[in-house]
């Protein structure tokens, strides 16, 4: 059953899989002193009231895995995408492109062009740089939404009557269902904010629906009850585990390239091993050669000479009667199945000949494994 958003003029059923959150122009140039908003003579503190509601909806959208889009209004450093009518509009104390406390005003890449830290995008979220009021004009927003098969847009940001309203109207003409999050929008003039929201929901929702952050957050989360929130800590844990797996795979791929005959001459610390996170039940790393075990003992002291198998492919220097080093363990005759660096080091013994086959020949003793 699809979740429902309580909204004006009527409740709206939506599918979270085809819904996107669009946050309009929550930039320092508009919300902080010294930016473009203040140069126009506005009280920028009025826009800051939209930050907490947007944070609540943003947290819910991230938890549910919705597509999240941030927009930023700004222009290229050479102002080639800024029409003269916009550059010459009004009598501000500083025009677009002029130096300001946060760099050049409304220029991409400047500190003032950035989104406020409370709503800063994280990895995986879409950021659209737009030169105009609407988010669809001269941008890739339409292609991004089409690729994800988005049908419903939850829109918030600043200002209500300008960039938010323009984007909702553009989206409405393109067939999207738009929900304006009322307390997540703000204006330098409160009366414009009130009238702008009323216009969206007028005449049965001529441009869309109007709701609130609380009404939107709960249905968003309930729409994906089985999907866990992907927090930065969880993503870091996934990255660490993936790194260990990659390290083990690389060790397994590199180790076979070392000729087996060289391992007898290598010091114990130079033998390849995988990260210590991969441990077997016995306490030995699955990527660690059994010949490096701390509990090894001399082969001659633990295995009778008659049972020793000559011609070991891993240690060709070992022969009956030789004195192997103390670092060599009898376990090397049967390496763990998970150790991929070497083939089976032993050679199968020839089948025993029967008494009938040995008759008439100088047969060896039955107890000699030779």
Q: Which of 8, 29, 129, 163 is catalytic?
A: 163
- Specify the long-range contacts of residues 169-176, CB closer than 8 Å, at least 24 apart: 169/134, 169/207, 170/134, 170/135, 170/136, 170/137, 171/136, 171/208, 172/207, 172/208, 174/136, 174/142, 176/145, 176/150, 176/151, 176/152
163 is catalytic: yes
Which has the closest alpha carbon to 148: 67, 229, 223, 71?
A: 67
Alpha-carbon distance of 271 to 123, in angstroms, equals 39
The dihedral over CA atoms of 201, 203, 206, 212, expressed in degrees to the nearest 10, equals: 10
355 is catalytic: no
Q: Which of 8, 129, 130, 183 is catalytic?
A: 130
Which has the closest alpha carbon to 216: 150, 169, 153?
A: 153
Q: How far is CA 110 from CA 135, 163, 201, 310, in A?
A: 20, 20, 37, 74
In the 8-state DSSP scheme, what is residue 23? E
- Quick check: 59 and 229 in contact, CB under 8 A? no
81 is catalytic: no
Q: Which residues are catalytic?
A: 25, 130, 163
């Amino acid at each position: 059953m699809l979740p429902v958003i309580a909204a004006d003029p009527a409740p709206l059923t939506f599918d979270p899989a085809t819904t996107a959150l669009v946050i309009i122009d929550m930039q320092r140039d508009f919300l902080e002193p010294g930016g473009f908003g203040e140069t126009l003579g506005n009280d920028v503190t009025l826009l800051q009231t939209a930050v907490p509601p947007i944070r609540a909806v943003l947290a819910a959208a991230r938890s549910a895995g919705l597509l999240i889009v941030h927009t930023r209004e700004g222009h290229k450093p050479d102002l080639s995408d800024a029409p003269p009518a916009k550059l010459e509009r009004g009598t501000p104390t500083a025009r677009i492109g002029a130096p300001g406390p946060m760099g050049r005003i409304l220029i991409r890449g400047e500190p003032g062009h950035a989104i406020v830290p409370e709503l800063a995008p994280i990895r995986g979220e879409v950021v659209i740089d737009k030169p105009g009021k609407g988010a669809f004009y001269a941008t890739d927003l339409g292609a991004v939404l089409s690729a994800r098969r988005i049908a419903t847009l939850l829109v918030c940001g600043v200002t209500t009557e300008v960039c938010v309203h323009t984007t909702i109207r553009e989206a409405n003409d393109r067939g999207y269902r738009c929900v304006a999050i009322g307390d997540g929008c703000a204006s330098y003039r409160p009366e414009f904010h009130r009238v702008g929201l009323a216009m969206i929901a007028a005449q049965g929702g001529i441009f869309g629906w109007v709701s609130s952050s609380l009404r939107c957050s709960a249905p968003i989360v309930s729409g994906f009850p089985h999907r866990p929130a992907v927090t930065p800590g969880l993503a870091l844990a996934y990255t660490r585990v993936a790194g260990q797996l990659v390290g083990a795979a690389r060790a397994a791929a590199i180790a076979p390239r070392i000729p087996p005959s060289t391992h007898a001459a290598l010091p114990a610390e130079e033998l390849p091993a995988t990260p210590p996170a991969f441990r077997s039940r016995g306490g030995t790393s699955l990527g660690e050669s059994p010949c490096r075990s701390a509990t090894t003992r001399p082969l001659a002291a633990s295995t009778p000479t008659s049972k020793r198998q000559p011609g070991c492919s891993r240690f060709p220097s070992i022969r009956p009667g030789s004195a192997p080093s103390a670092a060599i363990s009898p376990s090397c005759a049967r390496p763990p199945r998970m150790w991929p660096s070497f083939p089976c080091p032993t050679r199968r013994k020839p089948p025993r000949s029967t008494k009938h086959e040995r008759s008439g020949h100088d047969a060896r003793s039955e107890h000699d494994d030779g």
